[in-house]
Amino acid sequence: MAKHETPFLDQLESGPWPSFVSDLKQQAEVRAKNEEGVEFQIPQDCVDDLLGVLELSYKHGRTHWKHGGIVGVFGYGGGVIGRYCDQPELFPGVEHFHTMRVNQPAGKYYTTDYLRKLTKLWDFRGSGVTNMHGATGDIILLGTTTPQLEEVFWTLTHDYGQDLGGSGSNLRTPADCLGQSRCEYACYDTNAMVHFLTNEYQDELHRPAFPYKFKFKLDGCPNCCVASIARSDMSFIGTWRDNIRIDQDAVNKYVENDAAYPANAGAHKGRDWGPFDLEKEVLSLCPTKCMKFENKKLFIDDANCTR
């Protein structure tokens, strides 16, 4: 039996997509049953109260989280995001419910053993609710109380060899694609670069020196799998250094609609997009206008290509 009735939240389970409400209900139940005999260090029913306070927000049409307040671990100016509930009498389980940002490894490589240790720690000292990974890149551990922060930090740094990530006006945890560790398109070693930047800028990562956050994100090639341009202040995108090589035969087959060279490599081929317009769809999109197609030959003025 759920601690709080949640008719509004229940609607969020009705659509076709996986629902965070279902996940939170499941987690509330796991904590209530506690089959693994965890000695919970924060209220056992905190996830029930999390659902409860969110339901109340839907009812009132406004949030019941007070924003911020500075809370953290000794010596660091970031990595913990303070959250306090403005209804502590109704929802004591989430009176404080801070987020911890944990520095994810370059390329997000883990052993299953490490992941088990991490979730075990978070069941013990936090809500057990995680976000792997937050949109910003870090491992996000959602919901613990102030006294648990130093305890979690100690275990992470001393026993797990893991650090907190950035938040607030810190440099944020650098984030990358897996790069040449697995991807054939990588033009440089993104993982090595993230490792280097993380070490080089330790101070900035942990102590807020800027008036606002600052982010590095690294893509191994212009496919931009981590969307570094949209997501960071300084993006690194791998590119090639020699002149662009052109397979004129393939270009012509593409232009002539040869079945072996479908537009967009065959994606979206179910619809009729009209005749291919080389000028409009390719040449005129070049920012430096350094491409032309004449006498069945594609020409690129490499010196003016700004890739």
> Min. distance of Cβ 113 from ligand HEM in angstroms?
25
Cα 183 to the center of its chain, rounded Å:
19
- Structure tokens given for 123: 């069941």
C-beta closer to ligand HEM: residue 134 or 174? 134
* Contact pattern from residue 96 through residue 115 relative to ligand HEM, giving x for each residue in contact according to CB under 6 A and a dash for the rest: ---x----------------
Count the site residues for ligand HEM by CB under 6 A.
Answer: 17
Q: Does 223 bind ligand SF4 (CB under 6 A)?
A: yes
- Nearest-angstrom CA–CA distance, 16 and 32: 28
The residue range among 106-114, 136-144, 202-210, 280-288 that interacts with ligand HEM, by the rule CB under 6 A, is 136-144
Q: Does 288 bind ligand SF4 (CB under 6 A)?
A: yes
Q: Does 280 bind ligand SF4 (CB under 6 A)?
A: no
- Structure tokens given for 178: 């897996």
The residue range among 69-77, 110-118, 129-137, 290-298 that interacts with ligand HEM, by the rule CB under 6 A, is 129-137
Phi-psi region of 286 (alpha: psi -120 to 50; beta: other; left: phi over 0): beta
C-beta closer to ligand HEM: residue 96 or 215? 215
Q: Does 136 bind ligand HEM (CB under 6 A)?
A: yes
Residues near ligand HEM (CB under 6 A):
50, 63, 65, 67, 81, 99, 131, 134-136, 140, 142, 167-168, 213, 215, 231
Residues near ligand SF4 (CB under 6 A):
177-179, 183, 185-186, 219-221, 223-225, 286-288, 290-291, 300, 305-307
